[in-house]
Structures are given as C-alpha cells and as structure tokens.
Amino acid sequence: MTIKILAVAATLAISVTSVYAASDSAVAYTVSENEDIETIAGTYDISVEDILVTNGKTAEEIEVGSVIYIPPVHATGRYNPDKGTYKVAKGDDLYAISNRFGTSVASIEELNGMKGNEIKAGATIKIPQ
C-alpha cells in the first residue's frame, strides 16, 4: 500500500511540475546541435535536475530539436538564446554576467555601446555569441 501511494505521489508531482513548466513563467527552449542538458543548465545557471523534473524527462529523452522548459530562476536575469539577449536582474553587474556567459566585460560593453558598468535592473543587453 505504501509503495502504491508513493508511486501515485511521484506521478502527481511530475504532472504538476510539467503543467507549471508550460506556464508563462517558464522559458521554452529548443535544444540545438552540440548541446546537452549540462550545457543548457550551465547557461541558465540552474541544476540539471531542475530541468529534468520540470520537463518530466530523463537526460536521454532530451535530444536535438526537443523543446524543453527552463524553470524560472529567482534573483537572476533572464537569457533569451534566440536573440542573444539578457534581461538584467537586480544586483547583477557586468563582471558576474560576463562570467556566467563565458565572455569578457569589455566584449559586453563593446557590443552594447557601454562605458563602464552602466547597467540597470530591467535593461536588456546583448550577449556575445
């Protein structure tokens, strides 16, 4: 009896999470060639487990062309891989953003025509690809 209850609870948790993923607060992401779940998780600075649970899938089920949902990340900005842009969150600075995306502060400043660390929460900046 206990095992059946746990199985039902696990199934319900996956179903609820999957519904949550399809909401407006999650980001739809199409997996490109040469990407894996670890790369995507690193880009969004979240755990692989968070992505897998949100989508109700295993790593093996996520392949090129798959549309997956990235759960909202609290206290960080939002990256749009299709546009190569990042929406700055409160507390972000160019140094942290450059480290997150494996680029330099100078590259971000040049691409966005910036002088100094002049970003503000809510601003959308371009990220070098």
Q: Give all domains of the chain, ordered by start, each with its CATH number.
A: 1-74 (3.10.350.10), 75-129 (3.10.350.10)
- Structure pTM? 0.43
- DSSP letters for 33-73: TT--HHHHHHHHT--HHHHHHHHT--GGG--TT-EEEEPP-
More confident residue, 101 or 23: 101
Given CA atoms 30, 35, 38, 40 in this order, what sign does their dihedral have?
negative
Q: What is the mean pLDDT of residues 99-116?
A: 89
pLDDT digits (tens, 9 = 90+) for 44-83: 778 888 889 889 999 999 999 999 988 765 445 677 777 8
Q: Please state, rounded to an integer, the average pLDDT across all residues of the chain.
A: 77
